[in-house]
Structure 1
Amino acid sequence: MHVPQGVQDAALLAFEQALQRAHLRAAPERAAHANPGATGETLTVYERGSFLAETLFNGTGLSLLTTRVGPLSMQAVVVLTTRTVNDLSRVIVSMVVGGEVAPEIAREVDAAIDDLVARGVVVDGPGWARAVDVPRESLGHPQTAREHGIRG
């Protein structure tokens, strides 16, 4: 999505809070080897769950009962990037791991967008798309995220 540059920080805060409501936490260690300068983006990475919990839930069928039980939750990695394009900030919220929790995360991000719009922020752009449809040069693209060590 695109927001005016003057409200970029407010938009980022809204999306960070949305991701936290979806039980994600900042994961700077996942971004440690990434080079956002190569893509002209700023980068923050969020995660929840673990591979062990994912295996346990999927292997036992518990994923049908719940997608989150504290730190034992379905795994997700979300990349939040911004990039200046003309007078706008392009903001990408992209799930690069964890399709099982996509509806929960999308619901929270949608609520953040609705809140921004209600406060008079103009939110524009292509809207929702699959992560693989994010521009390949963006760290929000799953392949690029893997190449930069974000997906592990």
Structure 2
Amino acid sequence: MTRSPRHLRWAVNGARTFDVPTDATRTVLAEIDRAVRAAHFRPDAPPHGSGAQAVYRRGSALGDVLIGGSGLSAITTRLGPLSVHGVVVVSLGERDPDSARVIISLVAGSHVGGDFVDAVEDALRLIHSRGVPVDDTGWSRAVDIERTSPANPRRATELGLV
């Protein structure tokens, strides 16, 4: 089910799924990395064998308790490491021999959903501007991603990504 980005900003953790040519995956991952870092997420090495291509974190558990529980998250979500907790997982899989499926999912931290959605939209704009053909299936809830994917919040938790 495709959801509107506006709904995903505030209500649920969202995920974006799209297919790109296999030979463009390096470019696509670089644009995602740039955009997610610009949204104050910092890269973290995914555990070996998790199936995640990349993991990005923002905030901390302490910040989540202090800021997220106080109602101040609307003011402080852009403060980077002092902001509420958020985890983004990027999954890359083969769709067919010539194309790869990319899933970028906010598996934790709905308080930073607005920044996440903006980052993903920005990355896709730049990917399109580079002439990379994208077969975009649009936005969905992260929990609607296939249960075996590391981009699914339940599976990400099991794998220690959250």
> How does the TM-score come out when normalised to structure 2?
0.83
Q: 1:55 aligns with which of 65, 81, 84?
A: 65
Q: 2: CA distance between counterparts of 1:25 and 1:5? A: 26
| Displacement over 2 Å in runs of 4+ | 31-35, 58-61
Q: Which shifted more, 7-16 or 98-107?
A: 98-107
Answer whether contact 2:43 2:56 (CA < 8 A) is retained: yes
- Shift of residue 34, structure 1, vs aligned partner: 4.7
Q: How does 1:2-151 map to 2 (within 5 A)?
A: 2-28=19-45, 31-32=46-47, 34-36=49-51, 42-86=52-96, 87-151=98-162
SS of the residue corresponding to residue 10 of structure 1 reads helix
Unaligned segments of structure 2, at least 5 residues: 1-17
SS in 2 for 1:95: strand
1:77-110 deviations in Å (ceiling 9; x for gaps): 0001111111111011001000111111111111
Q: Give the aligned residue type for 1:101.
A: V
Q: For residues 110 and 85 of structure 2, what CA distance do their matches in structure 1 show?
A: 9
Contact 1:34 1:150 in 2 (8 A): no
TM-score by length of 1: 0.88
Distance 1:5 1:134 in 2: 21
> Following TM superposition, by how much is the alpha carbon of 1:33 offset from its aligned partner in structure 2, in angstroms?
5.8
| Aligned counterparts of 1:145 and 1:88: Cα–Cα separation in 2 | 24
Instruction: State the number of aligned residues.
Output: 144
- State the Cα distance separating 1:117 from its structure 2 match: 1.0
Q: Which has the higher contact order (CA 8 A, sep 6+)?
A: 2
Q: Which runs of 5+ in 1 are unaligned?
A: 37-41
Q: Distance in 1 between matches of 2:30 and 2:155?
A: 24
